[in-house]
Amino acid sequence: MIRKICDCAAVDYGTSDRLMVLFSSKPAMRRDVFDYVTFVQNMPHTKLFLRDAQSDYLYHTGIQGLTSSIDETVEFLKVFIKRMKPGRITFMGMSGGGYAATLHAHLVGRDPECRVDDVHVQSSISFLDPAVRDRLGGGERFTGLFQNLADFVASRGETHRYADLAKVIAESPGAVRLLRMYYAKGEQIDTLQAQNLVQFPHVQAVPHPSHSHMMLGMTLMREGTLYRDIEMSVDELLATNPSADPVPHMVPTNLGLGGMMARQA
């Protein structure tokens, strides 16, 4: 049973063998729902659902009602993990939720007691700095988001420490064992966001024939690919040459398209 901690956080307590931390995307924030609810509902693990009410700020104002900054969210997650002591820690997210999953996993994992085992993201944002976009070859999507967030950070008299996840990952060696990121190879911004992180040995950037940034997460769930990945051990994931091919027999029986659209789109 999912229990709300506050408007932007909820937990579904299950077994202690695995903790899944699930960050929601902007569309979920706008609808006041959480991503992945239908997808993970039959999994026995403990699930922690998080979202950001301020959709233009991508978790920089924390989890409303619980924390007020990224750093406070990191501290909350470390306390949650240390109390639960899960055997495996998995972070997930799509688009802006993928940005948050990747960022928080590497910050949390800097604590030796909170090393993150695997991160699974779809069409994830990995940079919010126009300079990184231009260095990688351009693309205008998210330009307004870049500027809105930059203006917000500047208004608080802060430096934009988390504008480029490549820098965060470089400063977090050993924090995360595996980051598997799927991207829509027909969407330029997806390709650029993935290219930004491919230099790291624990990152597996997997192209998908999709042309839709917004639909890739749902597609990977519908095709069974994401479920297959979640069910694999970390050692198997690390030893596997990842593929975005559909795995129909892995699609959960509870995963109706209508339910996914209501909670995931």
- How big is the CA angle at 98 (ends 103 and 48), to the nearest 5 degrees? 85
Q: Are 117 and 177 in contact (CB under 8 A)?
A: yes
Q: Rounded distance, CA 164 to CA 162, Å?
A: 5
pLDDT beyond 90 at 152: no
CATH number at residue 92: 3.40.50
For residue 225, the Cα-to-chain-centroid distance in whole angstroms is 16
Domain that holds residue 70: 2-264
110 CB-near residues (< 8 Å, 6+ apart): 172, 175
Structure tokens at 61: 């104002």
Q: What is the pLDDT of residue 135?
A: 80
Q: Quickly list H helices, the chain.
A: 26-31, 37-40, 70-84, 96-108, 130-136, 143-155, 165-170, 188-195, 216-222, 225-231, 234-239, 257-264
Per-residue model confidence as pLDDT tens digits over 53-108: 876 889 999 999 999 999 999 999 999 999 999 999 999 999 999 999 999 999 99
Per-residue model confidence as pLDDT tens digits over 186-222: 888 888 899 999 999 999 999 999 888 878 999 999 9
